[in-house]
Structure 1
Amino acid sequence: MFPLYDDNPTQDTSIVVYSLIVVNVLIFGYQLSLLDFQFTQWIGNWALIPKGFVANPIREAITLISSQFLHGNILHLVGNMWFLYLFGNNIEYKLGHWKFLFFYLLCGVFSGLAQVITAPMSGLPMLGASGAISGVMGAYLVRFPRARIVTLLWIGFSFIPIPIPAVVFLGLWIAGQTIYAAMANPNLPGVAYLAHVSGFVVGAIAVLIYSKLAKK
């Protein structure tokens, strides 16, 4: 199940979304230029490592932000940037450019803290924009539940694009992430599913509160 596009066009240029994509791509390009030992040092300095954060939260606080711009491989990067492009433009349009940037980073910070809380002694680096983008997806579910996501589905012997309501697509996605999070051991290498779930929840709640306050 892979999303292609939505039927929810915007009337404004998604400056922040495009800028985030460019910055992530440039940083990944820099990562590729590093030698193995340099890359290891780079990740050690800028990725969120729960054990290091717990030992010195003030010094390591920056990694709650910097880790959101690091990716382990090209598939990790492309997948994250596609989901950011697909769901981010509508949320940026609703929140405004600067509020969206703050919201995006905030979701990433909370998703990182969730990982630290569940595995405080882990020495594994956490990296990627997934937590922040999950927050954007949670916000999309709240604001545009009836929008349709044209999605590639494997039916029979071929992929077929089918429009699916956002509430169904994102509901199935977060349900799957929650199941994986319940089964995964946060102290072992792998996908940080809990970060996805926490980012999604924070994003949904934050936009819900913002929407209610904006009406007052």
Structure 2
Amino acid sequence: MVIPVHDVNPVRRTPWVTYALIAANVFVFLVTPGTAGSVSGGGDLAQLCHLQAFMDQYAAVPRELIHHQLPGLVPTGAVGVGPQGPGCVVAPPSYDKSPPLSVFTAMFVHGGWLHLLGNMLFLLIFGNNVEDRMGHIRYFLFYVVCGYAAGYGYALLNAASAEPLIGASGAIAGVLGAYLVLYPKARVWVLVPFLIFLPLRLPAWLVLGFWFVLQAVYSSGLGVSGTGTVAYAAHIVGFVVGMLFALPLRPGTPPPPEPPRLLFGRRARPWPTW
């Protein structure tokens, strides 16, 4: 897996929507109980009960999205002691949950620091150019539509699942798909783990194409142990939807600047022509 750190593709205007989305995701993460206190998102039983109650209210659940089967009992956030020992207290929900709206709220909920920082890194690097091409309002609507497509696409494939679906990955996958269509030849600086992290400058089509292939492989169950906790199918749906939305914009998209050749970290002289 390569880690992108910067793309050689300047923008013409400030990507205010991308910055606002990052700020909103960070804010929601900081107020999410039990996640901001540690790198792993772990905590004691009280924090776990609060986190479960928060997720049940704001996360998207495939069974709720497809069948509108809302649970009769949900964690309240309190800790109680039962026959099996201490545990989270459950009771009828004290709120009215809208499954379609939960897809939107789930886009801003993350399960840990690594989950949050990984998503925000990809959004920061690739979102600014997509916003620059689409414009602020159209880009925000595009982001939300990709997130909904990813959420409902995953739910259709896992209609019986009661596991909460959280994170901005589906919407950001749409941004990656759009970037691939609009700027396939843009250069992206990445870190490749090979004994040490090697910095390389690669074309966007290679970086994002490899990312998509990796999601497809993982979604099929290859290369991962068990089913895992990552909704790879949502990434695939969001990516494809992002590509489709970006196709009409491709003809009028100016190409990114061609960066100077690098030779072992230094600028190389132009190659001679014959």
Same fold (TM over 0.5): yes
CA distance in 1 between partners of 2:123 and 2:23 (Å): 12
> For residue 158 of structure 1, what is the aligned residue in structure 2?
196
C-alpha RMSD of the superposition: 2.2
In terms of fraction of residues, the more strand-rich structure is 2
After superposition, where does 1:20-169 map in structure 2 within 5 Å?
20-32=21-33, 35-56=47-68, 59-155=98-194, 157-169=195-207
CA distance in 2 between partners of 1:21 and 1:80 (Å): 9
> For residue 219 of structure 2, what is the aligned residue in structure 1?
181
| Equivalent pair of 2:33/2:50 in contact (CA under 8 Å) | no
The C-alpha deviation readout for 1:127-154, integer Å capped at 9, x for no partner, is 0000000000000000000001111123
**How much has 1:42 moved relative to structure 2?**
1.1
**How much has 1:213 moved relative to structure 2?**
9.8
| Equivalent pair of 2:221/2:227 in contact (CA under 8 Å) | no
* Distance change (3 Å), C-alpha of 1:25 and 1:163: same
**How much has 1:174 moved relative to structure 2?**
0.3
CA distance in 2 between partners of 1:95 and 1:41 (Å): 37
Residue segments in structure 1 that go unaligned for 5+ positions in a row: none
Residue segments in structure 2 that go unaligned for 5+ positions in a row: 36-46, 70-96, 254-274
CA distance in 1 between partners of 2:66 and 2:176 (Å): 29
Identify which of structures 1 and 2 has the higher relative contact order when contacts are C-alpha pairs closer than 8 Å and 6+ apart. 1
- Is 1:10 aligned to residue 11 of structure 2? yes
* Distance change (3 Å), C-alpha of 1:71 and 1:200: same
- Is 1:201 aligned to residue 213 of structure 2? no
CA distance in 2 between partners of 1:47 and 1:213 (Å): 38
| Identical-pair percentage | 36
Aligned to 1:69, the other structure's residue is in SS state: coil
One-letter identity of the residue aligned with 1:14: P
| Equivalent pair of 1:124/1:189 in contact (CA under 8 Å) | no
| Equivalent pair of 1:87/1:140 in contact (CA under 8 Å) | yes
**How much has 1:64 moved relative to structure 2?**
1.4
> For residue 19 of structure 1, what is the aligned residue in structure 2?
20
CA distance in 1 between partners of 2:161 and 2:174 (Å): 24
How many residues are paired up? 212
* Distance change (3 Å), C-alpha of 1:22 and 1:207: same
| Equivalent pair of 2:106/2:167 in contact (CA under 8 Å) | yes
**How much has 1:188 moved relative to structure 2?**
4.9
CA distance in 2 between partners of 1:45 and 1:33 (Å): 15
CA distance in 2 between partners of 1:164 and 1:174 (Å): 16
The C-alpha deviation readout for 1:10-32, integer Å capped at 9, x for no partner, is 12111000000000000000014
The C-alpha deviation readout for 1:51-95, integer Å capped at 9, x for no partner, is 122232893110111111100111000000010000000000000
Q: Radius of gyration: which is bigger?
A: 2
| Equivalent pair of 2:123/2:172 in contact (CA under 8 Å) | yes
